[in-house]
Amino acid sequence: MHKKVAIIGGGIAGLWSAWELARQGIDSTVVERSAFLGGHVAGFACKATDRCRRCGACLLEDVLQNVTKSDRISSLLRAEVFKIEKTNGGFDLTVSQKPQRIFPEKCTDCGDCEANCPVPGALVRSPLTNQLSVDEEVCLFYKDGSCRACLEACTAGAVKLDGAVQDIQLNPSAVILATGFKPFDPTNKPRFGYGRIPGVVAAPELDSMLRRDNWPGDRRMRSIAFIQCVGSRDAKIGRNYCSRVCCGYAMRLARLLKYRFPEVEPSMFYMDIQTYDRDFDRRLAEAAREVRLVRAIPSEVRLGPDGSPEVIYHGPEDHRLSESFDMVVLSVGISPHAADLFGALAGLSYNRDGFLGADGEGVTTGQEGVFVAGTTQGPRSISETVSHAISAAAAVSSYLGNSR
């Protein structure tokens, strides 16, 4: 029998697993919940300054090209698995797929739909490919049927607002779970003022501003504070692990800011700078010439008398200090996804940090034929995710070989 693999999640872990399986002659279907492939990495800006800063984000473009060209890989977008059952030879998966709303093969990218849409955020674009889709949670057509403006504006016939959800049946011999992570929600640390104090943002929001060239250009933004370990290494909220990527991420963002806007003065408040990257110590010493490093985790961010955020922290000899900034960036960590989907699979194991699978680098899940790849299993960087996905594909290949 021809063996196929179902990969749930089309982030870099899912895509790389699919590509690695394809290289070994194994077909797969990637089931992705959102309208676009790429997961979180699709939203990351290139962090190159005068040279590449090795953030890893462009690894996504490489694998996406390979996946798109491969005839061994198919993908289902806007699709979610809602039932998984074990059979004799593998699994029965029931996938529910919402219809596509904007067809890229017809879209001429004229922008008429966006120009006529009355609701900001109803039409969304992939940050990576710029393709359009409709967010049904926001669009008026799906709320109360009161708008069809994009459909009427599109002379290319690329927009289709009606069409029913379809159920699709997959019968894979093995499954890879690659549903990724959730960034820590900073409203769960109210003392840092996120959503309450103007000028306090989460790191991915700053990244998206830089990606879209949306930085305030009036030189108001000079002093920027990064606060590390927001939602990581914090036993009080049940997250006693390091997210591994935030120190490098914040450092690259700070240096990119300084490079693009030399007037910016970045400061970084940290507990310990984590050094998982091979070359990190050398790069840290280099970065310290451009970024002021303050070894203290602030106790609070509050609204200063001039309306800007004020960071309260304890300095040397435990003196209580306060400092005003134009912007405070919270380096939010990696949290496990709610295990809703996995509830359908009995016998899955979770590791000590609440991610799926065993502790360490393993790719097994406690359920025969079901493997895990990337940040579904634990915090890791893009390049670590790629290595983990390659291991997952190797384990699947050997499982399929052994179960022939």
Ligand X SMILES: Cc1cc2nc3c(=O)[nH]c(=O)nc-3n(C[C@H](O)[C@H](O)[C@H](O)COP(=O)(O)OP(=O)(O)OC[C@H]3O[C@@H](n4cnc5c(N)ncnc54)[C@H](O)[C@@H]3O)c2cc1C
| Residues contributing to the site for ligand SF4 (CB under 6 A) | 46-48, 52-58, 102, 107-113, 116-119, 122-123, 132, 134, 139-141, 147-150, 153-154, 156, 158-159
Buried b (16+ CB within 10 A) or exposed e, 345-358: beebebbebebbbb
Judged by CB, which is closer to ligand X: 146, or 169? 169
On the 0-12 / 13-18 / 19+ scale of CB atoms within 10 A, 136 is: middle
Q: How far is the CB of 51 from ligand SF4 (least distance, A)?
A: 8
Contact between 179 and 9 (Cβ < 8 Å)? yes
Alpha helices in 127-265 (DSSP H): 140-144, 149-153, 203-211, 246-260
The option from ligand X, ligand SF4, none interacting with 10 (CB < 5 to 8 A, set by class) reads ligand X
Query: What is the residue type of 161?
Result: L
The option from ligand X, ligand SF4, none interacting with 128 (CB < 5 to 8 A, set by class) reads none
Alpha helices in 7-57 (DSSP H): 12-23
Contact between 45 and 207 (Cβ < 8 Å)? yes
Bridge partners, 234 (sequence order):
239
Q: Which stretch binds ligand X (CB under 6 A): 27-35, 146-154, 211-219, 299-307?
A: 27-35
The option from ligand SF4, ligand X, none interacting with 374 (CB < 5 to 8 A, set by class) reads ligand X
Among 91, 141, 249, 371, binds ligand X (CB under 6 A): 249
The option from ligand SF4, ligand X, none interacting with 115 (CB < 5 to 8 A, set by class) reads none
The option from ligand X, ligand SF4, none interacting with 271 (CB < 5 to 8 A, set by class) reads none
Residue 191, C-beta contacts closer than 8 angstroms, at least 6 positions apart: 299, 300, 301
- Among 38, 56, 39, which residue's Cα sits nearest to residue 47? 56
Judged by CB under 6 A, does residue 385 bind ligand X? Answer: yes
Judged by CB under 6 A, does residue 231 bind ligand X? Answer: no
Per the listing, tokens 């820590």 go with: 184
The option from ligand X, ligand SF4, none interacting with 53 (CB < 5 to 8 A, set by class) reads ligand SF4
- Among 139, 126, 143, 148, which residue's Cα sits nearest to residue 77? 126
Q: How far is the CB of 20 from ligand SF4 (least distance, A)?
A: 20
The option from ligand SF4, ligand X, none interacting with 33 (CB < 5 to 8 A, set by class) reads ligand X
Judged by CB under 6 A, does residue 10 bind ligand X? Answer: yes
Q: Which stretch binds ligand X (CB under 6 A): 25-33, 97-105, 186-194, 316-324?
A: 25-33
Judged by CB under 6 A, does residue 201 bind ligand X? Answer: no
Contact between 202 and 188 (Cβ < 8 Å)? no
Report the interface residues with ligand X, using CB under 6 A. 8-14, 31-34, 39-41, 55-56, 80, 178-181, 183, 203-204, 245, 249, 252, 332, 334, 341, 374-375, 380-383, 385
